[in-house]
Amino acid sequence: MKGDMNGAEILIKCLEDLEVKQVFGYTGAAILPVFHALGKSSIGLTVNSNEQACAFSAAGYSRSSDKVGVAIVTSGPAITNTLTAVADSYGDSIPLLVFAGQVPEHKIGTDAFQHINVRGIFEDAAKKVILLSNGADIESIVKDAYYFAKSGKPGPVVIDLPLNIQQRKGQYRALDHEMFSSTYGHENHLSKKQCRSFFKLLQKSRKPILYLGGGLNSDGASRAIREFNELFNIPFVNTLMAKGLMDEGHPRSLGTLGMFGTPYANMAIQETDFFFAIGVRWDDRVAEKVGGFALNADIAYIDINPEKVHQIRSERHPKFSFIGDAKTALEDLTEYAKQENIEIDIREWQEKTSELRQKWPLDYNRSSKSIQQAEVLDLLSTCISDETRITTGVGNHQMLAAQYLRRSKPKSFMTSGSFGTMGFALPAAIGVHYANPDAEVIAIDGDGGLKMNMGELHTIGSLGLPIKILVLNNHGDGMVRNVQTALYGGEFTGTVRDSDISLAEVARVCGFGHAKRVSDRKELRESIDDFLASRGPSLLEVITDFDEAVYPKVPPGKPYREMILGPYIRERR
């Protein structure tokens, strides 16, 4: 409805027009006008246990849908609490809107209660930071920010709302938000000359590999890369952010590449002669090892981020590169290939990579008296459907989940990649649930990561959210402890938990109808079946091996040829 409203009401009306259905927030005095306007709207509100969790839930909403997650918090410590989640979203290119209350404009810079320089703190951790001033057009700014967050290389936008701006009367004009989306709708297309150059390289190749990144992690881009590879059947590897955008059960899938990648991905990459990277940021856990395999490989690179493409052009000297939307570029290549009847002959390479996958399977300590995290995840993978949505924390369980949980659909595996943030799994799962209310949502975490945002057990339990939490409890920080084993002679300072508190008991207190702890392997399968069959908030705590480590591993700074297979991965003859 057009007419006079205060700034807070205009903000909420903008969100309604943008078809925002759910926001995540925590209130306070400096944001009360917005919350009271929200209370009169059709938009749902989830109140998390703290502001970091609010922003992580909003990010989970974005990661698992084509929408932009929204978090609304108050001033001072509330907005600074969101910094980690904002930086995490910036690193993984996740669109996000974070609205923060602020002291009235005349008090900015006066050491007022709960005042902080939001722009100064967030300018290097967000795609954009906006301080609304007295003359600001709230409607235009909010609608533009929504599409700006989604455009190009997506990322978080932080909007600082002084209290007087929220209270100021203004005119809501009901501007068509499509006029803002069209600002960012321009697509660069590959020319026929560029397509010809690309396929000249591909047709020369005998051992090509597709390297797929998070820039493809959408329904449309997933379809585009699948259609492209239906023509050529090229072996492919993926980053952590790209799990599921291609079916990992496909014969050409080699799994995740990198420091803790699959053995066959890390072996195949040493032989490739054409490395086609799409929508990747060349993470150091993958890219610093490029020199170990790419001396004789041609590189092609497509990405929407000009800065990254220019960086790779200067550092890696690709034979082909293009700045633009990966989906559009792949569609252009596919159409050209069909028109020109482009074919390649890589049968020997297809057979070789299939052989690597068969001969060097993942494995773990099957004779241990203690349950292995890899064992749990290997079993879980056989019990979940393609529609299941997974979130993980950060640590050994995250890498093992990437190795053992096969995904076949985009946006089905949500994790903190670039920033590696412990405490991510639970709040992100809340956002994933609201974006996908009919899907099974499983949050996988370690005991250390779970305690980082344990308050979300209360959020999930008190709201009765049908989220399943799998806790792999090894009573310590396993990934850091693995480093201590290698570099500090096994001195586990700060990474061992002396106390043994039952997290299942904590979950029961928080309202979980199903909460169980298991340490006996004989009970594992039945416990997983019961866990998956349960309704409402559910938690399964599995006590796992204190000494378990993740293999294979490529040591920091080393090439793929120096991959350490560990004691259990062996060639299958």
Do 331 and 378 have their domain in common? no
d(CA 316, CA 291): 9
* Order of all β-strands in the sheet with 96-102: 44-47, 22-25, 69-73, 96-102, 156-162, 128-131
d(CA 314, CA 321): 11
Do 212 and 148 have their domain in common? no
The pLDDT score that the predictor gives to residue 295 is 53
| Across 248-273, average pLDDT | 94
d(CA 198, CA 11): 46
How many angstroms separate the Cα of 129 from the Cα of each of 95, 180, 228? Answer: 13, 18, 38
Which two tokens mark 65? 């849908």
In a domain, 241, yes or no: yes
pLDDT tens track for 101-118 = 998 888 888 888 888 999
Identify the residue whose tokens are 């399977």: 361
Do 139 and 197 have their domain in common? no
| CATH number of the domain where residue 153 is located | 3.40.50.970
The pLDDT score that the predictor gives to residue 1 is 45
Q: Confirm if 294 and 227 have CB atoms less than 8 A apart.
A: no
Q: What is the pTM of this model?
A: 0.95
In the beta sheet, which residues pair with residue 448? Answer: none
Which residues, 6+ apart, have CB-to-CB distance to 36 below 8 Å? 8
Q: Confirm if 159 and 145 have CB atoms less than 8 A apart.
A: yes
d(CA 103, CA 115): 6
| Across 48-71, average pLDDT | 98
d(CA 447, CA 499): 12
Q: If pLDDT is split at 50, 70 and 90, which confidence band does 3 have? A: low
Continuous segment of H or E residues that includes residue 349: helix 347-359
In a domain, 568, yes or no: no
Do 157 and 40 have their domain in common? yes
| Across 207-216, average pLDDT | 96
Exposure on the CB side of residue 87, measured as CA atoms within 13 A:
15
Q: Is 458 exposed, middle or buried (0-12, 13-18, 19+ CB in 10 A)?
A: middle
In a domain, 404, yes or no: yes
Q: How many domains does the chain have?
A: 3
d(CA 3, CA 174): 9
Long-range contacts of 294-298 (CB under 8 A, 24+ apart): 297/272, 297/273, 298/201, 298/204, 298/205, 298/273, 298/274
SS (H, E, C) 511-567: CCCEEEEECCHHHHHHHHHHHHHCCCCEEEEEEECCCCCCCCECCCCCCHHHCECCC
Using N-to-C axis directions, what is the helix angle for 373-381 and 396-404, rounded to 10°? 30
Which residues, 6+ apart, have CB-to-CB distance to 562 below 8 Å? 292, 554, 555
The pLDDT score that the predictor gives to residue 293 is 46
Do 91 and 18 have their domain in common? yes
| Across 211-234, average pLDDT | 96
Range with lowest mean pLDDT among 41-55, 429-443, 469-483, 512-526:
469-483
Do 29 and 139 have their domain in common? yes
Q: Confirm if 432 and 391 have CB atoms less than 8 A apart.
A: yes
Q: Confirm if 4 and 170 have CB atoms less than 8 A apart.
A: yes
User: How does the average pLDDT of the chain come out, rounded?
Assistant: 93
d(CA 5, CA 9): 6
The pLDDT score that the predictor gives to residue 383 is 97
Identify the residue whose tokens are 């799990």: 243
In a domain, 355, yes or no: yes
Domain boundaries, position 132: 3-184
Do 316 and 384 have their domain in common? no
| CATH number of the domain where residue 327 is located | 3.40.50.1220
Q: Is 536 exposed, middle or buried (0-12, 13-18, 19+ CB in 10 A)?
A: middle
Do 514 and 466 have their domain in common? yes
Which two tokens mark 196? 């010809």
Domain boundary among 307, 327, 359: 359
DSSP letter (8 states) at residue 370: S
Of 189, 195, 236, 191, the C-alpha closest to 216 is 236
In a domain, 556, yes or no: no
SS3 209: strand
In the beta sheet, which residues pair with residue 268? Answer: none
In a domain, 571, yes or no: no
Q: If pLDDT is split at 50, 70 and 90, which confidence band does 287 have? A: low
What does the DSSP assignment read for 40-102? TSS-EEEE-SSHHHHHHHHHHHHHTSSS-EEEEE-STHHHHHTHHHHHHHHHTT--EEEEEEE
Q: Confirm if 212 and 278 have CB atoms less than 8 A apart.
A: yes
In a domain, 364, yes or no: no
Identify the residue whose tokens are 């199903």: 514
pLDDT tens track for 458-513 = 999 999 999 999 999 999 888 888 888 878 888 888 888 777 889 999 999 999 99
Do 459 and 440 have their domain in common? yes
Q: If pLDDT is split at 50, 70 and 90, which confidence band does 294 have? A: very low
Q: Confirm if 472 and 542 have CB atoms less than 8 A apart.
A: yes
The pLDDT score that the predictor gives to residue 437 is 97
pLDDT tens track for 248-258 = 999 999 999 98
| Across 126-151, average pLDDT | 94
Q: If pLDDT is split at 50, 70 and 90, which confidence band does 555 have? A: confident
Q: Does a cis peptide bond (omega within 30 degrees of 0) precede residue 552?
A: yes
| Across 39-53, average pLDDT | 97
Do 158 and 212 have their domain in common? no
d(CA 280, CA 240): 10
Which percentage of the chain shows pLDDT scores above 90? Answer: 82
Domain boundary among 184, 206, 239: 184
Which two tokens mark 105? 């404009």
In a domain, 137, yes or no: yes
| Across 526-552, average pLDDT | 96
Do 490 and 392 have their domain in common? yes
Q: If pLDDT is split at 50, 70 and 90, which confidence band does 449 have? A: very high
Identify the residue whose tokens are 């709201």: 463
Higher pLDDT, 4 or 189: 189
Q: Confirm if 187 and 212 have CB atoms less than 8 A apart.
A: no
Identify the residue whose tokens are 């910036």: 90
Domain boundary among 126, 160, 184: 184
Identify the residue whose tokens are 């000009």: 306
SS3 325: coil
**Does the pLDDT of residue 529 top 50, yes or no?**
yes
Do 481 and 405 have their domain in common? yes
d(CA 139, CA 521): 58
| Across 448-467, average pLDDT | 97
In the beta sheet, which residues pair with residue 275? Answer: 209, 299
